Structure 1
Amino acid sequence: MLPLNTNRLFIYPCRLPLLTQIFLEHPHARETLQANIPENWPQPDLKEQLPHFIELLQHDPRSFPWMLWIIVNKEEGTVIGDIGFKGRPDKNGVIEIGYTLLPSWRKKGYMREAATALVEWAFRQPHVKKLIAECDVTNTASMKVLQHLGMEEVKSPGEMLHWQLMNK
């Protein structure tokens, strides 16, 4: 069932038209999502990645829904962040998750809720065997989300911590 629906959130996967609308800052994106889009979203990292996502979906439509998902707070009807995977499962069934929330929505359990819903969805898909993630060693909020998902830290030389979770 898409979008994903949790207690407080709708989580929408982005098809090519919506990605293009977001990239172009077109007003139809608000209509498509039926949500307010704050001026500070998308964040700079996502803005930089949008052309890559658009190109990937143009050349590989099967990449949907394995990239960007938009997190909308139900009560406020507002985009509060994004979550997704860095492409579809590889030949070994591995997917990598990434996410971000707008600063004013952090430390309220929203990312835990969104990540739980998305990981549960992913593990119901055929061929998904393992979830991986990485986060900066100073990002304790992200570490808490990954721990909540049941991920375990694996060898991590340097400034990034690496995590994994096997599909049961």
Structure 2
Amino acid sequence: MLPLDTARLLIYPCRLPLLTQIYLRHPDAGEVIQAHIPDEWPQQDLREQLPHFIELLQHDPASYPWMLWIIVSKADKTVLGDIGFKGRPDKNGVVEIGYALLPPHRGQGYMKEAATALVAWAFQQPHVRKLIAECDITNTSSRKILQHLGMKETMTSGEMLHWHLLNK
């Protein structure tokens, strides 16, 4: 059932109209998810990816919900960050996860909670066999989240660590 509902969070997958509103910084975007969207969200990396996500959903509607999900605090109905996938699973059932929290909300367990819920959702989908991720070698917080999820480090490539988790 969507959105994903955890102890402290609601995690909403984004359909094309909402992605477009977020990209255009439309004032009504928050109404769709019934939450306040802080001025600093989306962060720079996501802002740069939004046109790609929009184009992908325009040409491949089946990419929903394999893109952006918005993390919302139940307590104050505020967007804390985002999580999602870099596209739908490939022909081998592999999907890549990515995530980011706004700085004031880091270190409080929100991303562990959101990532745990999203990974559980992904592995409930019949065609998902493997989850992969990458993180900067210096990003200790991200490494802790990936370890918490049970992911195994597979290799280092330059400044990036690569991870995977098989669906049981």
1:83 aligns with 2:83: yes
- 1:69-148 aligned within 5 A: 69-148=69-148
> Relative to structure 2, which stretch is displaced further, 102-111 or 152-161?
152-161
In 1, Cα distance between equivalents of 2:157 and 2:64: 32
Listed one character per residue, the Cα deviations across residues 112-162 of structure 1 (whole Å, up to 9, x for unaligned) are 000000000000001100000000010000000000000000121321000
TM-score (normalizing by structure 2): 0.99
> Residue 45 in 1 paired to residue 81 in 2?
no
The answer for the alignment partner of 2:6 in structure 1 is 6
Matching residue's letter, 2:87: G
| Separation of aligned partners in 2, 1:28 and 1:86 | 26
- What letter is aligned with 1:91? K
SS at match of 1:27: coil
User: Where has structure 1 moved over 4 Å in runs of 4 or more?
Assistant: none
Deviation sequence 1:81-108 (CA, Å, 0-9, x none): 0000000000000000000000000000
* TM value normalised by structure 1: 0.99
Cα distance in 2 between the residues matched to 1:77 and 1:84: 19
2:150 counterpart residue number: 150
Structure 2 CA distance for aligned equivalents of residues 14 and 71 of structure 1: 11
**5+ unaligned residues in a row in structure 2: which ranges?**
none
Which consecutive unaligned segments of at least 5 residues does structure 1 have? none
CA distance in 2, matches of 1:27, 1:86: 26
Identity %: 75
- Structure 1 SS opposite 2:38: coil
Supply the distance in 2 between the matched residues of 1:162 and 1:30 (Cα, whole angstroms): 34
CA RMSD, 1 decimal: 0.5
Distance (Å, rounded) in 2 between the aligned partners of 1:128 and 1:78:
30
User: Residue by residue, what CA displacement relative to the aligned partner does 1:10-61 show, whole Å, maximum 9, x if unpaired?
Assistant: 0000000000110111112111010000010000110111111000000000
- 2:7 partner SS: coil
